[in-house]
Amino acid sequence: MAILQQVGTPYPTRQRVITSTQYQVVRLDLGAYYVSAIILLWFLCLISGSVQGQTGPTYEAARESAFAGRYLKSRELVRQLLATNPDQFEAQILMARTYNWEAKYDSAAQILVPLLEAHPEVSDAKGALLDCRLWAKNYSEALVITTQLLLEQPQNNELKLKKAQSYQGLNQEKQGLALVDSVLAVEPGNAAAKYLRSEFLAVVLKSQVGVNYYLQPNSDNTVWHMAMAEYMYRFKRAPSLVRYSYAVRFGNIGHQVELDCYPLLSAKTYLYVNAGLGNGTGVFPNAKGGIEIYQGLPLGFEVNAGIRYLGFSNQNVYLLTSELGKYLGDWWIGMRGFYSPLTTGDAFAGVGSVRRYIGDANRSISLAVSQGTIPTLVNFFDQRIAKLSNTRVSLDLNWGFGSRFVTKAGLWYEYDQVADDRFISRYTATVGLYRNF
């Protein structure tokens, strides 16, 4: 019994030791598994993050290159993306837009048309194709696309303006005007809509009548008056106007009838043609005429050159004139020069002008400064009143009210040399009202 107890006694003790050791081993094994799992999970996350880091920045880099004007680099990055993921629509659309921005509209369409045939639900691709068709002056297809997009986004005012531009290209100005008015009803300050509306009105409202009055007090207590009445009709290829002028100067009364015409030779080229007759009192020329050609240039520049004729009883005056102007956003800056070979000697003059458009073409403020010899600055001439030099500063305001009425106002200051040792100052005020219909 004692032997059994001696033999059996250590068993429970040994059993407890073994069990504890096994527990420690098992616990260590589980700990190793946990650590391994954590390391594996961390490694997988690292790989995933690395892959995402390679994909995201690559597209971002392509987009940044495109916005910076590096179109070839952008397209190279996009091709790398499409090599691994051909169905990445965003990258395909970006490539198409770079072609749009380079005016390579056929290349853009080769990407967008198959994409939309396979996936017509991709609205961004429709938007890129719309720009492609609109900028390529394919107004019929642009109109179809804008109509489809507006069914999906009926309150999108930007799409409405693009549809209005499509109507404009198709010579459907009334439909375009209605769309623009719907945009302005929601966004009265939308500058693009206001400008587009002024262009539509210039076509829809084909006629304009107006009156102008000029008042010029003189140092000898006399007052010069001039009044003009005009009617213009905007023919599609040659807007034209007829003008009647009445003036009182030096006790003489002058009458003049003129015709102005602006034939359009191309989208960026037009003529200015003028012809007129006076009543022979010296206030206005007995006959006058002129022709100038205007040419639009890249980067917002415009240049013109021409000749004018003023026929008075005592002298025929020929003026050669040229101007260089540039549009800078809402600003227009121009420099014009005159040359005239008078019998009393060559005459020169220069005029610098700055105009600021405020919202649309019917609202502007202009400042002009001129220096030179008469008659290069005015339309009337007589040896008795020929001036040695003239300096003029003028400020003019055009302000439209709605679509039909335009008011004009101006204030001019002149400093004239009328003799070798005599200078006088003159002030002129002008006001006018015009109506479109």
- End-to-end, the C-alpha distance of the chain in Å comes to 132
From 157, 185, 204, give the residue that closes a domain. Answer: 204
C-alpha angle 323-226-378 in degrees, rounded to nearest 5: 30
Question: Is 108 inside any structural domain?
Answer: no
Q: How far apart are CA 387 and CA 419, in angstroms?
A: 7
Determine, yes or no, domain membership for 98: no
- Among left, alpha and beta (phi > 0; psi -120 to 50; other), residue 276 is beta
**117 or 222, which is more confident:** 117
One domain for residues 198 and 226 = no
Band of residue 316 on the pLDDT scale cut at 50, 70, 90: confident
Torsion of the alpha carbons at 308, 310, 311 and 317, rounded to the nearest 10? -80
pLDDT tens, position by position, 39-58: 556 555 555 444 444 444 47
Length in residues, the chain: 437
Same domain, yes or no, for 363 and 217? yes
- Same domain, yes or no: 257 and 395: yes
CB 117 within 8 A of CB 144: no
Asked whether residue 267 falls in the same domain as residue 310, the answer is yes
Do 313 and 190 sit in the same domain of this protein? no
- Look at residue 22 and tell me whether its pLDDT is greater than 70: no
Q: Is the domain of 337 the same as that of 430?
A: yes
At 419, the pLDDT band (50, 70, 90 cuts) reads confident
Among 187-196, 236-245, 345-354, top mean pLDDT goes to 236-245
Angle, helices 105-118 vs 89-101, to 10°: value is 160
Considering its fold, how many domains does the chain have in total? Answer: 3
> Is 201 a residue whose pLDDT tops 90?
no
CA angle centred on 251, ends 245 and 253, rounded to 5°: 25
Average pLDDT over residues 15-19: 41
- Residues 195, 274, single domain; the answer is no
66, exposed or middle or buried, with CB in 10 Å at 0-12, 13-18, 19+?
A: buried
Name the percent of the chain lying above pLDDT 90: 49
Q: Is residue 117 domain-resident?
A: no
Q: What is the per-residue pLDDT for 6? A: 35
177 and 212 part of one domain = no
**Rounded Cα distance, 259 and 29, in Å:** 105
Residue 71 counted as domain residue: no
In which band, very low, low, confident or very high, does the pLDDT at 37 lie, cut at 50, 70 and 90? Answer: low
Are both 158 and 241 inside the same structural domain? no
Q: In degrees to the nearest 10, what's the CA dihedral of 44, 50, 52, 54?
A: -150
- Tell me, what amino acid is at 214? Y
For residue 85, being part of any structural domain is answered with no
The last residue of a domain, from among 204, 219, 249: 204
**Residue that is last in its domain, among 187, 204, 221:** 204
| pLDDT at 28 (0 to 100) | 42
- Six-digit token pair at 206? 């084909």
Which stretches of 234-284 are assigned E, i.e. beta strand?
A: 240-249, 252-261, 264-266, 269-278
Position of tokens 């309150």? Answer: 155
Does 238 fall in a domain?
yes
Which two tokens mark 366?
A: 């202009």
Do 308 and 296 lie in one domain? The reply is yes
Does the structure show a pLDDT above 50 at 33? yes
* One domain, residues 187 and 212: no
Give the range of the structural domain holding residue 141, as residue numbers without chain letter: 137-204
What is the average pLDDT score of the chain? Answer: 83
CATH of the domain at 195: 1.25.40
- In terms of domains, do 387 and 428 share one? yes
**Residue 190 forms part of a structural domain:** yes
Would you say residue 119 lies in a domain?
Answer: no
Domain harbouring 335, CATH code: 2.40.160.60
